[in-house]
Structure 1
Amino acid sequence: MGSPISLHATVLGAPDPQRLARFYANLLGWELGDDEREWATVVNPGGGPKLSFQLEEDFQRPVWPEQPGRQQMMMHLDLKVADLQKAAAHAKECGATRAEHQPQEDVIVFFDPAGHPFCLFEN
């Protein structure tokens, strides 16, 4: 028996939702959906849940790895890629920043323009 609940979107807080939506649309090859100052979305052309961005006026960039007393990440995105080095180069071209701390050899951690960490990994 199925659940009456389904995932519609993952929402990230951001100081500039439109900028972050454009970053992820470019990074993932997705399409822009809503494009307002306070709310923006990217839509997977293949279907499935959206990625949305909500304005947070008092947004504090998370630190990673975590540090006591500092804003910690609440979540991160895991992005599967076919070629890790090619995907890492693409992420940098899109405006991502490679994290200094890399805890695994087969995963590359980046930060989006708002500072949310995301991980690239091969299948």
Structure 2
Amino acid sequence: MSLRMKLAAITLDCPDPLALAAFYQEATGFAPHPKSDAEFAGLTRTDGLLMGFQRVTDYRAPRWPDQTVPQQLHICFDVPDLDEAEAALRRLGAGKPAHQPHDPARARVLTDPAGHPFCICLE
């Protein structure tokens, strides 16, 4: 018998949980978790998946692709239009590293305001 697990939550370390939650709320449309505060903020997808953001003292942003401070986590989001999604995410505060390892017509690496890399991929 194989074990089947359902992903229930993803939590990112960051210096400002409420600010990072606001970025991802605008980007994903997930609903704010009612118990969010300055130490831990959360967003909930309609199927119950929680995306959490926890305050870490002396937080050091990942240095992707350099591994002096490893990325620790990588999230991918499917989007219908890469150019439109990239422009909207950059307006929200996402960055775009110079190193882009994928075919830019299929996927792009961006960074959230706390420095975590994530991909947007063509559906």
Using the size of structure 2 for normalisation, the TM-score is 0.89
Which one of 79, 84, 87 corresponds to residue 86 of structure 1? 84
Give the Cα separation in 1 of the matches to 2:2 and 2:22: 34
**Alignment length (residue pairs):** 120
- Relative to total residues, which structure has the larger strand share, 1 or 2? 1
Q: Following TM superposition, by how much is the alpha carbon of 1:6 offset from its aligned partner in structure 2, in angstroms?
A: 3.6
Cα 1:3–1:116 change in 2 (3 A) is same
Q: Following TM superposition, by how much is the alpha carbon of 1:2 offset from its aligned partner in structure 2, in angstroms?
A: 7.9
Aligned to 1:26: 26
Give the unaligned 5+ runs of structure 2: none
2:85 alignment partner, SS class: helix
Aligned to 1:74: 72
Aligned to 1:43: 44
Q: Which runs of 4+ in 1 moved over 4 A?
A: 1-5
Q: Following TM superposition, by how much is the alpha carbon of 1:48 offset from its aligned partner in structure 2, in angstroms?
A: 3.4
Q: Following TM superposition, by how much is the alpha carbon of 1:5 offset from its aligned partner in structure 2, in angstroms?
A: 5.1
Give the Cα separation in 1 of the matches to 2:2 and 2:42: 27
Q: Is 3-12 or 91-100 further displaced after alignment?
A: 3-12
Q: Following TM superposition, by how much is the alpha carbon of 1:7 offset from its aligned partner in structure 2, in angstroms?
A: 2.5
Give the unaligned 5+ runs of structure 1: none
Identity rate of aligned residues, in percent?
35
Aligned to 2:122: 122
Give the Cα separation in 2 of the matches to 1:91 and 1:59: 23
2:22 alignment partner, SS class: helix
- How well do the aligned residues superpose, as a CA RMSD in angstroms? 1.6
Using the size of structure 1 for normalisation, the TM-score is 0.89
